[in-house]
Amino acid sequence: MVWDPKNALGHNDYGSFERQRQGSSTEPEDDGHGHGHGQAQGPLRGLQALPLSPLHSSHPHPHAAASTSSMSDTDLIQRQPLLPLPAKNGHHITVEYEEDVDDHSEDDGRAGGKANGIVKINIPKTEREEQRYPKEKWKTLIGKYTFLCLVFSFIMATASLSLVHERVPDRETYGPLPDIFFEFLPQVDWALDVSEIIIMVSSNVTFLIMLFHKHRFIVFRRMFLIVALLYLMRSVTMYVTVLPMSSTTYYCSPKANVTTPWLLTTRVWQLMSGFGLSINGKHTYCGDFIFSGHTVFLTICYLFINEYSPDSPKRIFQLLSWISCISSSIAVFFVLLARGHYTIDVIIAYFVTTRTFWIYHTLANNASLKKPGSHNYLARAWWFPIFRYFEENVGVKVPRQHEWPLPWPRRFLHKPPNRNS
């Protein structure tokens, strides 16, 4: 069988086939009636056998006769060069032509090859310019979700303190435990007020950074859940081991020597209305030592400012991060100076807070770690199912993008708010 290219005689787009008789040459003999002995009848009549060149050229190939004579009907494969496809959206589509060697196929007449033509088209993957970050407001504010988890943890911590207050050792009988910090520095009562003023300023700055964050609902949800976890753990450690008072001058309310539901409720309300601070005069119950709630808040505020503050202007927000770190350290120092906590309370609070924050964000920023398995030991944390529920739709790290949080005034909006971000 031989091939008649389409541009030679103007036939259909794919040319024509011609069957050769065995022992005949490529030049047909005239039988006297104008027909060659080796020509096929019908539509292929009168076609001359010509070799196929890669560019459909009419110039004969020197090895055409040998190639065509050795081909069978099933071995002949038309090969045409694939034209380059036009660029689309700035990406070029690459077309490759692969020849796979088939051990069971016959030789196609070409040097070194048995052909099984496969066309491979490499199309570049299209990527989204921006990752979607679902707000999921209902997970942040409604029902059994993070905000109520935070409120519940505060209630548990204050209820634990209300019960511990009745078990605190008598200050006249048991003095403060030996502490290396207390041995070198004297007690300064006003230092606790300075520490709590720094806590209030740092909390407000952290709130503003989270409020102006583009993905504020995700950030608020993380803050609520991390603080809730810390205060739930604190309510347990504070209750199981009660230490003697570290301060000899701090005012403690008289003990009731009886615990009733009404008494517990009134104490919880009093403590929560004062946000757990002694500067407003409502934190008059003692025994909340292991671990330090002041250190928890100061550390978590610094970590969130450092993690979620804007990238630009870079120097300003780097300075803000350093100021937050230094002020938090000073506030912790003042807590110890006022004998508000033992040194062990501060050390435990720092380690528990930083490790919880880092583990949480490591899990949140890696999609593979959100699936429990033998490879993921972080999934053995007791709060992993809660974390997985709140972070299941956030696949990557939240970028440091900020925007005006209100729909007015419009001059502060660079673009219409993205309701799906």
Q: Residues 133, 394: contact at Cβ < 8 Å?
A: yes
Q: How far apart are CA 27 and CA 49, in angstroms?
A: 8
Listed in sequence order, the residues at least 6 apart from 68 whose beta carbon sits closer than 8 Å to its beta carbon are 1, 2, 3, 20, 26, 49, 51, 109
Q: Among candidates 414, 404, 398, 416, which has minimal Cα distance to 134?
A: 398
List 179, 345, 361, 402, catalytic entry: 345
CA angle 237, 241, 243 (to 5 degrees): 115
**Residue 63 designated active-site:** no
Residues in the chain: 421
List 213, 215, 283, 294, catalytic entry: 294
**Residue 100 designated active-site:** no
Burial class (CB in 10 A: 0-12, 13-18, 19+), 58: exposed
Q: Residues 360, 307: contact at Cβ < 8 Å?
A: no
Q: How are the residues of the chain apportioned to helix, strand and coil, as percentages rounded to the nearest 5?
A: 45, 5, 50
What tokens appear for 372 in the block?
């429990």
Q: Residues 33, 11: contact at Cβ < 8 Å?
A: no
**Residue 345 designated active-site:** yes
Q: How far apart are CA 45 and CA 43, in angstroms?
A: 6
List 165, 213, 215, 341, catalytic entry: 341
Point out the residues that are catalytic.
294, 341, 345
